[in-house]
A and B are shown apart, each in its own frame.
Chain A
Amino acid sequence: EAMSENLNGNVVNSKILAYKNKAPQAPEGYQNNMRVLYSQTKTPSSTRKVTRHIPQVPERILDAPEILDDYYLNLLAWSCNNHLAVALGNSVYLWNAGTGDIQQLMSMSGPEDYVSAVSWIAEGNFLAIGSSNAEVQLWDVAAQKRVRNMTSQSSRVGSLDWNVYILSSGSRAGTIHHHDVRIADHHVATLDGHTQEVCGLKWSPDGRYLASGGNDNLLNIWGYQCTREGNVPLHTLTQHQAAVKALSWCPWQASVLASGGGTADRCIRFWNANTGHCLNTVDTKSQVCSILWSKEYKELISGHGFANNQLTIWKYPTMAKVTELTGHQARVLHMAMSPDGTTVVSAAADETLRLWKCFAVDPQKKPAQK
């Protein structure tokens, strides 16, 4: 209909002009590199020097029925007390990785509400829960009791992270709120640096910086000193060409941050948070959903979506591929690491959780220097 309008209307009343000298054509043999988006393309792996044994199959596979297939949520967290929190639909389950006990912690009351984020406090006794109806709940896990419900956000809370007693929440609307969980008037700061959903949120281990990533393709780095209003990021990093969800701070270099981009970007980038400089970048050829640094080795693991659904272990800083862990039948949405650093759990859209013992300490060999 728009076409016939064009044909009947505009064409008659206007002239269509083109420049006589045409634009050059792409060089011969050039093939659209976007093809990698549509199939399982192997990233060229350098000669693999296998330095240690990494089991290629998961140690365990857990069923995760009704886990929401949504990139923007954060539905997996592992506490220092070895409890794995998993949000499945409208409920949160706790799996005790030591004993194997399963417990349902809570369930949303509204029929259409669902849990959109979970995050453990460092001590492992409280779990923060974000929901589709914009709530930020705080649960005492031992007592199985909700102790707070903080309702300052106005849309879905898809990301949460802790800095001691400050809980930060990121929303679908792009706002980040700091909640001081000790005081009644919990909402102590608003960070306005994203125009679309905040899906990645991570405090640096020393608590100096907060990294936030959004569907607006921005990665912001914020200082810890924030006031209620008028905060601006220390750095706004615009290099990613897609949403930024995967964020992880280096455990041994306080201000080094790794970030991963979505489908139109596919890159892992490394940043110096002090200066905002990009230290390094690698094209992974598929959507990056999550990144974790190893505590034991100078390595990282990344979880991927379209089109490979794999986990990749990389050597840092060369970014040579150490190995790929495959088996998930749909994209890997989230990852978390066991408190001892040996095991990574991945949650995928195939409704399974897989536990990979990929960073086990090798008693025969001296682990990498810290």
Chain B
Amino acid sequence: MAGVLQAAKNSITLKGSAEIVSEFFSYGINSILYQRGIYPPETFSRVQKYGLTLLVTTDNELKTYLNNVLMQLKDWLLDKTVEKLVVVVTSIDTQEVLERWQFDIECDKTMTEDSKPREKPLKEINDEIKAVIRQITASVTFLPLLEENCSFDLLIYTDKDLQVPETWEESGPHFIAKSEEVRLRSFSTSIHKVDAMVCYKNAD
């Protein structure tokens, strides 16, 4: 019995992989919003996940926004149409893009919902995700202070021929003109691979 459970735990289906990835984004984006001081720290609460203590928003409006985006993301992950998720941090006052967290998503396009599951221990995947989130937490080491009040937006890069849902709109890439960039760690579910990177305004 334990063996069967163990095997199920380590078998990754396309659906399971999409869930792991969208869950990572939920915690990862919350970590960015907290660590970068985009929202007041008192609007976050602590939860245990991946063997870490993570901070997640308690603001209902923000929670709703994140849920809506991530639910759609999960569908697109299942359809294998997502290429990137980008967190864009913009100065409210000047509209200048100050920081840009880019997550490149590679997907094994041969996988379907009926394919034989892939084998990768869940613990290994969680440890990889843990390492990425720990780097987000440590990024204050090199990132500039966000001096002005900032807002954020989430951009999702999809296949060119994707039908745009009514609640979504097309957007520009919101690059930072002269930027410094730092590659962070990546993780893989064996079906989806996510590479993380952060770009920020070049220091003088």
Contacts and interface: CB of A to CB of B under 8 A. Distances in A.
In the complex, is A directly touching B at CB under 8 Å? yes
B145 A35 contact: yes
Given A14-B158, A15-B164, A32-B37, A25 B141 contact: no
Interface stretch (B7-15, B57-65, B106-114, B115-123): B57-65
B157 A32 contact: no
Interface in A23-59: 23-27, 30-35, 37-38
Interface in A256-275: 263-264
Contact of B153 (A7, A13, A22): A22
Nearest to A38: B145
B134 A217 contact: yes
A27 B40 contact: yes
A29 B52 CA distance: 31
B158 A37 contact: no
A216 interface: yes
A13 to B, nearest CB: 6
A188 B86 CA distance: 49
B172 interface: yes
Contacts of B72: 19
A30 to B, nearest CB: 5
Interface in A76-90: none
Contacts of B170: 15-18
Contacts of A22: 65, 151, 153
Nearest to A28: B149
A16 B51 contact: no
A149 interface: no
Contact of A33 (B40, B138, B168): B40
B145 A238 contact: no
B37 to A, nearest CB: 4
Contacts of A37: 140, 145
A53 to B, nearest CB: 37
Most buried by B among A30, A236, A238: A238
A126 B145 CA distance: 47
Interface in B55-92: 59, 61-62, 65-66, 68-69, 72, 83-84, 92
Interface of B: 35-41, 46, 48, 51-53, 59, 61-62, 65-66, 68-69, 72, 83-84, 92, 131, 134, 137-138, 140-141, 145-147, 149-160, 162, 164, 167-173, 175, 179, 181
Given A17-B171, A33-B40, A34-B37, 20 more contacts: A10-B157, A14-B158, A15-B170, A16-B155, A18-B153, A18-B170, A19-B168, A20-B167, A22-B65, A23-B151, A23-B153, A23-B154, A26-B39, A30-B149, A38-B145, A236-B51, A238-B51, A239-B46, A241-B137, A242-B138
10 contacts: A10-B84, A13-B160, A14-B158, A20-B167, A23-B151, A23-B152, A25-B92, A27-B40, A34-B140, A217-B134
